[in-house]
């Protein structure tokens, strides 16, 4: 069965770099894309970026200068790195396996708090 699980530090200091891992099972990273979506506490959903099945990436234009998404297909893992973190980056970060029209699975999310 398809599963995605996010992991990473719960607390990051301002101006530091966030590193998150999404470990997937039940599907191949070379067949389906993986997206990152975040949700500030009590607020709505914001698409962060994606790594496509072919390995190319796309990023939210508002975050692009601070963001990098990569993967290790042998470990079925996708990585998110975001630098220069600010308090407004405090959010639940979800990873999501997606393909148009037939594949849409979400992880449980990981809460990231940016605070000194």
Partner 1 sequence: DIVMTQSPSSLAVSAGDKVTMSCKSSQSLLSSEYQGNYLSWFQQKPGQSPKLLISLASTRETGVPDRFIGSGSGTDFTLTISSVQAEDLAVYYCEQYYSYPTFGAGTKLELK
Number of residues located near partner 1, criterion CB under 8 A: 17
Question: Rounded to a whole number, what is the largest CA-CA distance in the chain?
Answer: 42
Pick 46 or 77: Cβ nearer partner 1: 46
By CB under 8 A, residue 106 contacts partner 1: yes
Pick 8 or 109: Cβ nearer partner 1: 109
CA–CA distance, 19 with 42 (Å, rounded to integer) = 23
Question: Tokens 């796309």 appear where?
Answer: 58
By CB under 8 A, residue 52 contacts partner 1: no
How near is the Cβ of 55 to partner 1 at its closest, in Å? Answer: 18
Site for partner 1 in 76-105 (CB under 8 A): 94, 100-101, 104
Site for partner 1 in 57-76 (CB under 8 A): 58, 60-61
Pick 71 or 107: Cβ nearer partner 1: 107
**Which residues in this chain contact partner 1 in the complex, by CB under 8 A?**
35, 37, 44-47, 58, 60-61, 94, 100-101, 104, 106-109
């Amino acid at each position: 069965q398809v599963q995605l699980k996010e992991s990473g530090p719960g607390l990051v200091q301002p101006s530091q770099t966030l590193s998150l891992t999404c470990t997937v099972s039940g599907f191949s990273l070379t067949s389906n894309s993986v997206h990152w979506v975040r949700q500030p506490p009590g607020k709505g959903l914001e698409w962060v970026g994606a790594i496509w099945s072919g390995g190319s990436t796309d990023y939210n234009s508002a975050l692009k200068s601070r963001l990098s998404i990569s993967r290790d297909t042998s470990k079925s893992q996708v990585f998110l790195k975001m630098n220069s973190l600010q308090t407004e980056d405090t959010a639940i970060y979800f990873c999501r396996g997606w393909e148009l029209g037939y594949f849409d699975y979400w992880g449980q999310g990981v809460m990231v708090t940016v605070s000194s």
